[in-house]
Amino acid sequence: MTEPGNIHDRQNLIQHLEEVDQRFNQLYQTADNALSPSSDTPFSEYLSALSIALEELKLIEEEVCQHNQQLSEARQALETERHRYQELFEFAPDGYLVTDKYGKIQEVNRVAVELLKIEKRYLVGKVLPSFVAEEHRNVFRSLLLQLQSINQMREWEIPFVTRDGARFEAALTVVAVKTESGDTIALRWLLRDVTNRKQIEEKFRKIQRQNLELLEADRLKEQFIATMSHELRTPLTAILGFSDLLLRQFHRQFPPHQTRLIERIFENGRHLLSLIEDILDFSDLRSKRIEFRLEVFDLNELVALTIEEMRSLSEQKKLDLHAQFATANLVIINDRARVKQILVNLLSNAIKFTDSGLVCVQVSPGKPGKVAIVVQDTGIGIDEADFDLIFQEFRQVNQTTTRQHGGTGLGLAITKALTQLMGGEISVQSTLGLGSTFTVELPMHIAPL
Ligand code: ADP
């Protein structure tokens, strides 16, 4: 934008005008003399002086024109600026208001009109506090007073009430416009409806509260299950002990049907005890209350041994159970009993959920620094949608089939928790009706817990 007649230009112009004025005075004086009968100066000299004066006047006229031109350009630029500001103000996505220092509205934009639900012509002249919820008006007025000393306030949340009585949560940002001497001449307000945001925040807080409650409930449930299991274990061990004693030492004294009853007591007791032990184990694993007893051993040997221990189960179902080893021996450092527990869980599932075909364990070094144990079967398979679910505690894919197969739904949860504590991973691949493959990857050397 051209600077309209700066001070220097203006002073020059004034000086020029003064010079011309002087010259005209002189000219007028000389003309007066020339017209007097006693004058002896030739008339032509006056004429030439006059023409010089006219020339200068012309120059000045040009200068004035130039100044006028600059002024009008500057005015136009100012007008464009003002228009742009007005557009920004008018079409801003938030409500904007300008008030005097008492909160009397002088200007409002479109969004502010929509928010306060009152026509612009009625809004101008009203005081902003009248739109603040009644119980907050005093606080609002004290803010107005404070704005005399502080210059701005950001994102102040206060309830507003529209002309038709609807309430909304407003966030206000206000800036005081001050004179050089520090007097407030206007206040510029930014008004936003944050009702939705506040509702979302409230929902979020509620969800967080519920989450904490759930976590607490989960902790209590765990505690209850652990205490209950401990309480049950003692009498159950006694029942098992006594029924075992009866079977071994006094079985001749009972008729066969009573012996069968005692056998059932013993079997059911054993089943219950293993369930309780699983529950306690899982609860210890979850709260990391376990310790690994690390030792150096050959994984191949452990797999072969476990397979032999389970062979009677697979034979009952006429399944082909075998192992494949990628290397001659695979020495690792881990808790032998816990690795065996993983193997037993996976193998017993594979045998349980396979009616014909084979169950195979492959052992290989896997990725660098790892070993992989793959347990594959040709059983009923698992739907992909259930891949995550099966690793959750007490979750069984199909209650009817699993009821028929037995189980508690804790085996895979324990296996996963153990694998993760060892710094490994477990994954599953399966096709319904064709079989499943569980892969456990463990570090060669695990860190002690
Ligand atoms: P449980 O075997 O005691 O029911 P798990 O946690 O070991 O509990 O297994 C959870 C569920 O995952 C099983 O009930 C079964 O539905 C499914 N599942 C596990 N292993 C297999 C498998 N090899 N083939 C088919 N389904 C399986």
- Give the CATH number, domain containing residue 236: 1.10.287
Specify the DSSP class assigned to residue 447.
P
Ligand 1 pocket test target in 317, 355, 361, 390 with most atoms within 8 Å of CB? 390
Per-residue buried b or exposed e for 299-321, using 16+ beta carbons within 10 Å of the residue's own CB: bbebbbebbeebeeebeeeebeb
Residue 397: which residues within 8 A CB-CB, separation 6 or more? 382, 383, 386, 389, 390
Domain boundary among 263, 286, 309: 286
Tell me how long the chain is: 449
327 and 306 share one domain: yes
Is 262 part of any domain? Answer: yes
Predicted confidence band of residue 436 (pLDDT cuts 50, 70, 90): very high
Give 254: exposed, middle or buried? Use CB within 10 Å, 0-12, 13-18, 19+: middle
Predicted local distance difference test score (pLDDT) of residue 44: 73
Which residue(s) pair with 174 in the sheet?
153, 189
Quote the CA–CA distance of 114 and 109 in Å, as a whole number: 9
Model confidence band, residue 51 (pLDDT cutoffs 50, 70, 90): confident
Ligand 1 centre and the CA of 449: distance in Å? 28
Mean pLDDT of 226-240: 87
Among candidate residues 177, 193, 209, the one where a domain is terminated: 193
32 and 128, same domain (yes or no): no
Probe target for ligand 1 pocket from 359, 395, 396, with the most ligand atoms within 8 Å of CB: 396
- Is residue 277's pLDDT more than 50? yes
Same domain (yes/no): 437, 324: yes
Contact in structure between 175 and 188 (CB atoms under 8 Å): yes
Q: Which residue has the tokens 């520090």?
A: 182
Ligand 1 atom with the shortest distance to the CA of 409:
8
Q: Does the residue 1 lie in any domain?
A: no
Residues 149, 219 within the same domain:
no
Local structure of residue 448 (DSSP, 8 states): P
Indicate if ligand 1 lies below 6 Å from the C-beta of 377: yes
Q: Identify whether the C-beta of residue 119 lies closer than 8 Å to the C-beta of residue 136.
A: no
Residues 271 and 304 in one domain: no
Residues 32 and 170 placed together within one structural domain of the fold: no
Q: Do residues 189 and 203 both lie within one domain?
A: no
Q: Considering the entire predicted model, what is its pTM?
A: 0.58
Ligand 1 closest atom vs CA 395: 10
112 within some domain: yes
- Shared domain for 18 and 107, answered yes or no, is no
Does residue 399 form part of some domain? yes
Give yes or no: residues 298 and 273 share one domain: no
pLDDT at res. 233:
86
Torsion angle (degrees, nearest 10) of CA 312, 406, 350, 323: -30
- Say whether pLDDT at 7 is over 70: no
Taking the C-alpha atoms of residue 150 and residue 132, their distance in angstroms, rounded to an integer, is 21
> Poorest-confidence range of 68-77, 96-105, 281-290?
281-290
Please indicate whether residue 354, judged by its CB atom, sits closer than 6 Å to ligand 1. Answer: no
Q: Whose CA is nearest to atom 12 of ligand 1?
A: 390
Q: What is the mean pLDDT of residues 217-229?
A: 85
Distance, in Å, from the CA atom of 291 to the CA atom of 216, rounded to the nearest integer, reads: 25
pLDDT tier, 67 (very low <50, low <70, confident <90, very high otherwise):
confident
109 lies in the same domain as 228: no
- Are 310 and 437 in the same domain? yes
Give the pLDDT confidence score for residue 3 in this predicted structure. 47
- Is residue 448 assigned to a domain? no
Atom in ligand 1 nearest the alpha carbon of residue 410: 6
- The model's pLDDT over 246-267, given as tens digits with 9 standing for 90+, comes to 888 877 788 888 888 889 999 9
Closest atom of ligand 1 to 391 CA is 6
Question: Is the CB of 390 within 6 Å of ligand 1?
Answer: yes
Q: Which domain holds residue 341?
A: 294-443
> Is residue 57 within 6 Å of ligand 1 at its C-beta?
no
359 lines ligand 1 (CB under 6 A): no
Measured N-to-C along each axis, helices 299-316 and 336-352 cross at an angle, to the nearest 10 degrees, of 30
Class of residue 141 by CB neighbours under 10 A (exposed 0-12, middle 13-18, buried 19+): middle
Measure 354 CA to ligand 1 centroid, in angstroms. Answer: 11
- Kindly state whether residue 398 falls inside one of the protein's structural domains: yes
pLDDT at residue 20, rounded to an integer: 73
Residue 374 lies in a domain: yes
Whether 380 lines ligand 1, by a CB cut-off of 6 Å, is yes
Comparing 106 with 86, the larger pLDDT belongs to 106
Tell whether ligand 1 has an atom less than 6 A from the beta carbon of residue 408. yes
pLDDT at 41: 64
Mean pLDDT across the stretch 151-174?
A: 92
Tell me, yes or no, whether 380 lies in a domain. Answer: yes
**Of the candidate ranges 72-81, 156-165, 321-330, 402-411, the one whose mean pLDDT is the lowest:** 402-411
- Weakest mean pLDDT among 18-27, 233-242, 289-298: 18-27
For the chain, what is the domain count? Answer: 4
Distance 387 CA to ligand 1 centre (A): 10
Question: Could you say which of 268, 286, 304 is where a domain stops?
Answer: 286
- DSSP strand pairing (358-364 vs 320-325): parallel
Do 324 and 416 reside in the same domain of the chain?
Answer: yes
Tell me which H or E stretch contains 219: helix 195-249
pLDDT at 2: 42
Q: Whose CA is nearest to atom 19 of ligand 1?
A: 349
Indicate whether residue 409 lines ligand 1 (CB < 6 A).
Answer: yes
d(C-alpha 442, C-alpha 317), whole Å? 30
**If you measure from the C-alpha of residue 316 to the centroid of ligand 1, how many angstroms do you get, rounded to a whole number?**
19
Q: What is the pLDDT of residue 37?
A: 65
User: In angstroms, what is the C-alpha Rg of the chain?
Assistant: 48
Whether the pLDDT of residue 197 is over 70: the answer is yes
The pLDDT value given to residue 130:
93
Once rounded to an integer, what is the mean pLDDT over residues 130-150? Answer: 91
In whole numbers, what is the pLDDT of the chain averaged over residues?
88
Does 400 have pLDDT greater than 60?
no
Report how far apart, in Å, the C-alpha atoms of 348 and of each of 283, 307, 340, 345, 377 are.
21, 10, 12, 5, 11
